[in-house]
Amino acid sequence: MSKIGLIGGSGLYDIKGFILKQKKTVTTPYGKPSDQYLIGKIGNTEIVFLPRHGKKHNMPPHMINYRANIWGFKKLSVDRIISISAVGGIKKGFKPGDIVVLDQIMDMTRNRKSTFYDGKGGV
């Protein structure tokens, strides 16, 4: 059975049907993740939940340590990650509450590491 990682964005802090088993603080070579990982189940599926902005929503997007967050999921043996985001849209046909599945991304962020590769040891 696979273990699903779930990253909650703005507004997703409580998950209907999620039964919490434990909270886990994870150390990573990239620093601290956004918060503790909440480990539990929804039905028969093991879920590892992390609030992207911290449990108290006290971390702005540019301060999130994305590499630490992903590394923490790896350390907890997560097989797949689902990330939930609440963002503005650029297409008028979509309305609040619509679900969109992306097939491409354009990342315009600056001044943060965007890869796990550090350039040492070749390609």
**Is 76:37 a contact under the CB 8 Å cutoff?**
yes
What spatial distance separates the first Cα and last Cα of the chain, rounded to whole Å?
33
Domains of the chain as residue ranges with CATH: 1-123 (3.40.50.1580)
Mind listing the pLDDT tens digit for each residue in 95-104?
A: 877 887 878 8
Residue 15: CB atoms within 10 A of its CB come to: 16
Mind listing the pLDDT tens digit for each residue in 47-97?
A: 999 999 888 888 888 889 999 999 999 999 999 999 887 776 777 888 877
Residue 115 burial by CB count (10 A; 0-12/13-18/19+): exposed, middle or buried? exposed
**Is 30:68 a contact under the CB 8 Å cutoff?**
yes
